């Protein structure tokens, strides 16, 4: 971990602006569910995931387990939960769903944790808690490379797709009003639906997290025909959604993430899934350091 971050610490020194990071939601209420006791009794853990968020969380084949950066982190968390509960043969049930579905799963108890690409927000903290941060993402626009949209303001009079129930949907609505851009917003269920509409020419742009856009673009029929614009539309702090008010469970999740951040496992996980995109930025390196909670 020290060698991994050494290359970017100089960038931190040059950064004058501080970044406020959201903390996990706090609650004075007794937990509605003792998640560790539930997992110990059933000898299984239910994990909500995204099926189409390459390279963070995606499913190659419905018959196989999900893979990705978030999934690799999640497996370290599951190993810690196994140790904490004393269940050596802990069974993992992976449950794919959209972000709205995943939040609902955790809030209702159908899932014990959401290991995907979910942004930690205050509104979501009304229903779930969040782990330490696992990634910092920015929102962006995917367009046809030869199309008319070259910047956010070019969306005026055009159609732009966004996934329903995401923080990007809220942010897009705010930006369109703030910048007086009159665009038609098309709400879709997931990324593949948006890509299909973009390839057909039904929409002019798709707005989502940039890493998700990269993953969708490289899996498109003709990746070279697509382009991600340079505009950063939002900053998205990603974390694992957890049952609200269950501090004992959250402690074990954060214990596992801290071990990954300081124990040397982060570099191979990061490079395996995100290395082709580039090394961690100064802001992302700071996030890892700030979320490595001391004993």
Region of 112 (left: φ > 0; alpha: ψ -120 to 50; beta: rest) is alpha
**Domain that includes residue 185, residue range:** 138-234
Domain shared by 7 and 110, yes or no: yes
Domain shared by 29 and 157, yes or no: no
Domain shared by 128 and 261, yes or no: yes
Domain shared by 212 and 150, yes or no: yes
Per-residue model confidence (pLDDT) at position 73 = 98
Q: Of 214, 234, 254, which marks where a domain is finished?
A: 234
Q: Of 234, 250, 268, which marks where a domain is finished?
A: 234
Domain shared by 53 and 41, yes or no: yes
Domain shared by 66 and 128, yes or no: yes
Domain shared by 148 and 249, yes or no: no
Per-residue model confidence (pLDDT) at position 7 = 46
Average pLDDT, 10 consecutive residues per value, the chain (295 residues): 46 37 41 86 98 92 93 98 97 96 97 97 96 93 93 95 92 94 95 93 94 88 90 90 97 98 94 83 88 90
Domain shared by 54 and 84, yes or no: yes
Domain shared by 108 and 210, yes or no: no
Q: Would you say residue 295 lies in a domain? A: no
Domain shared by 7 and 37, yes or no: yes
Q: Of 203, 234, 265, which marks where a domain is finished?
A: 234
Does pTM surpass 0.85?
no
Q: Would you say residue 191 lies in a domain? A: yes
How many distinct structural domains can be found in the chain?
2
Q: Would you say residue 125 lies in a domain? A: yes
Per-residue model confidence (pLDDT) at position 17 = 37
Per-residue model confidence (pLDDT) at position 32 = 58
Q: Would you say residue 56 lies in a domain? A: yes
Contact 231, 151 (CB under 8 A): yes
**Nearest of 34, 43, 50, 246 to residue 131 by alpha carbon:** 246
Domain shared by 120 and 261, yes or no: yes
Q: Would you say residue 198 lies in a domain? A: yes
Q: Residue 199 maps to which CATH number?
A: 3.40.190.10
Per-residue model confidence (pLDDT) at position 4 = 53
Q: Would you say residue 17 lies in a domain? A: no
Domain shared by 96 and 177, yes or no: no
């Amino acid at each position: 971990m020290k060698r991994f971050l050494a290359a970017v610490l100089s960038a931190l020194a040059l950064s004058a602006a501080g970044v406020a990071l959201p903390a996990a939601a706090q609650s004075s209420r007794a937990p509605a569910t003792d998640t560790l006791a539930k997992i110990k009794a059933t000898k299984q853990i239910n994990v909500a995931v995204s099926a189409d968020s390459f390279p963070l969380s995606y499913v190659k084949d419905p018959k196989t387990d999900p893979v990705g950066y978030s999934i690799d982190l999640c497996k370290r968390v599951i190993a810690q939960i196994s140790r904490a509960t004393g269940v050596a043969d802990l069974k993992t049930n992976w449950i794919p769903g959209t972000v709205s579905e995943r939040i609902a799963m955790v809030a209702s108890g159908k899932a014990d944790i959401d290991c995907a690409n979910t942004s930690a927000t205050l509104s979501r903290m009304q229903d779930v808690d969040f782990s330490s941060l696992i990634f910092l993402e920015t929102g962006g626009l995917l367009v046809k490379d030869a199309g008319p949209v070259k910047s956010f303001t070019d969306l005026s009079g055009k159609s732009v797709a966004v996934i329903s129930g995401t923080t990007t949907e809220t942010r897009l609505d705010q930006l369109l009003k703030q910048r007086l851009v009159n665009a038609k917003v098309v709400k879709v269920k997931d990324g593949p639906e948006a890509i299909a509409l973009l390839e057909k020419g039904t929409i002019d742009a798709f707005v989502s997290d940039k890493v998700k856009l990269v993953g969708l673009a490289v899996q498109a029929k003709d990746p070279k025909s697509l382009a991600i614009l340079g505009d950063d539309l939002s900053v998205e702090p990603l974390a694992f959604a957890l049952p609200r008010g269950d501090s004992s469970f959250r402690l074990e999740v954060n214990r596992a993430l801290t071990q990954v951040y300081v124990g040397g496992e982060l570099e191979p996980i990061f490079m395996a899934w995100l290395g082709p995109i580039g090394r961690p930025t100064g802001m992302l390196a700071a996030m890892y350091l700030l979320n490595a909670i001391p004993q």
